[in-house]
Amino acid sequence: MKVTQVRFIKSVFQKRDLPKPRLPEVAFSGRSNVGKSSLINVLLNRKGIARTSMTPGRTQSINFVEINRAFYFVDLPGYGYAHVPLAVRKKWLPLIEGYLTQRPTLCLVTVLGDVRREPQEDEVLFSQWLKQQAIPFAVVLTKIDKVSRQEQMTSLRLWRARLQVEDEIFLFSAKTGEGKDNIWKHLSRCIQCHKPRRSPTFIAV
Ligand code: GTP
Ligand code: MG
């Protein structure tokens, strides 16, 4: 994917502030600190478009970035992190859940996992929930520069089995850029094939 234009649209803290569903959207989800913002920055060849940090829970809003005037990347707040105060998480959850279930232009959710860890319960539950909701998702295992090739393969097998995904799983390093091209290929396909989701309509008989 040749990225020619990148424009930060807005940070959204409340449902009513969501931008109009206009273009296909790819959302990035995962635990805090897993590398969502770093992945977005590498895919877009921009250092600071998505804020990266050492502080878990730094991304507390839904952040929209427009690419090539053709689609959006959506950086979601990290979930499942004990350091984030309950009051804050209680505010996020309805916002994120509402976004994921009701957004007609959402074409793919990437679920990021740290290659060094086994999938945690919240990650398994989240992927099961996406399946139930018929929301397409792909898994990206991050920080592969921190482990050996053999450990990467072991982790890949484990995540594949636990989250029950076949091909839609990718290894990635924001440090070396490894995996970037494969991920772009998949995202491009999803963006191109996307047809807006419709809410069920009542058919009179
Ligand atoms: P929240 O916004 O808090 O949910 O975090 P996030 O998922 O956006 O993570 P972020 O991209 O901010 O990365 C967290 C930390 O991990 C930062 O210090 C990054 O530099 C580091 N990091 C992210 N991806 C990689 C990677 O592939 N390799 C290495 N070595 N470090 C990474
Ligand atoms: Mg972030």
One-character DSSP codes across the chain: -----EEEEEEESSGGGPPPS-S-EEEEEEBTTSSHHHHHHHHTT-SSSS---SSTT---SEEEEEETTTEEEEEPPPBS-TTS-HHHHHHHHHHHHHHHHH-TTEEEEEEEEETTSPPPHHHHHHHHHHHHTT--EEEEEE-GGGS-HHHHHHHHHHHHHHHT-SS-EEE--TTT-TTHHHHHHHHHHHHHH------------
Mean pLDDT, residues 148-177 taken together: 97
> In this predicted model, which residue has the larger pLDDT, 83 or 151?
151
Distances (CA, A) of 101 to 12, 16, 30, 50, 55: 16, 15, 17, 23, 28
Whose structure tokens read 């990467």? Answer: 152
pTM for the whole thing?
Answer: 0.90
Atom of ligand 1 nearest to the CA of 41: 11
Q: Is the pLDDT of residue 82 over 70?
A: no
What share of the chain has pLDDT > 90, as a percent?
A: 65
Q: Residue 141 above 90 pLDDT?
A: yes
Query: With a 6 A CB cut-off, is 57 part of the ligand 1 pocket?
Result: yes
143 lines ligand 1 (CB under 6 A): yes
The confidence band for 134, taking pLDDT boundaries of 50, 70 and 90, is very high
